[in-house]
């Protein structure tokens, strides 16, 4: 498979998983968080999926297109290890949904960050809330869910906060 085809499959899986997650968290209160703002495409999509909710974006640095960037109140800059532990104070309530898009293409560093986020995320996610991730997570407080129809197993990951 070409890198372009792989990218397209990943982006389609991301879109389909987020649409599915939006349906699953419709009745769960809380803001939405995006871990890995990047160029802002997914952040922008989350604002469309959740027009009545606050959407907070976390990233190491600001690199998003201005049209797809959060305002300063909804942007948290710095290393996840520094910003995620105090996120509840910043976002005001446990999140109904966290979207994690932090894969770097380096399996070793992805695994280290995924292991850390697996432990750091549950305290800031509402009970019954979801985590949608481009990397596999592992924590007993996060129950794996099946991907929606059409999304290949292992392409994207969904978890419900127990």
Residue pLDDT, tens place only, 20-33: 999 999 999 999 99
Are the beta carbons of 112 and 136 closer than 8 angstroms?
A: no
Model pTM score: 0.94
Q: Max alpha carbon distance in the chain (Å)?
A: 44
pLDDT in tens, 121-135: 999 999 999 999 999
- Find the domain containing 136 and state its range: 3-161
- Among candidate residues 136, 147, 152, 150, the one with its CA nearest the CA of residue 102: 136
Question: What CATH number does the domain containing 58 carry?
Answer: 3.40.50.150
* Total domains, the chain: 1
């Amino acid at each position: 498979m070409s890198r372009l085809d792989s990218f397209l499959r990943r982006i389609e899986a991301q879109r389909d998983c987020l649409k599915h997650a939006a349906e699953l968290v419709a009745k769960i209160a809380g803001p939405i968080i995006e871990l890995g703002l990047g160029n802002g495409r997914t952040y922008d999509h989350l604002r469309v999926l959740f027009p009545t909710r606050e959407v907070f974006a976390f990233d190491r640095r600001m690199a998003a297109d201005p049209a797809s960037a959060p305002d300063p109140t909804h942007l948290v800059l710095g290393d996840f290890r520094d910003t995620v532990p105090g996120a509840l104070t910043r976002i005001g309530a446990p999140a109904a949904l966290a979207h994690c898009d932090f894969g770097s293409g380096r399996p070793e560093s992805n695994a280290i960050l995924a292991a850390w986020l697996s432990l750091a995320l549950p305290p800031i996610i509402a009970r019954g809330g979801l985590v949608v991730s481009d990397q596999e997570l592992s924590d007993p407080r996060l129950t794996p869910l099946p991907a929606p129809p059409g999304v290949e197993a292992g392409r994207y990951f969904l978890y419900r906060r127990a």
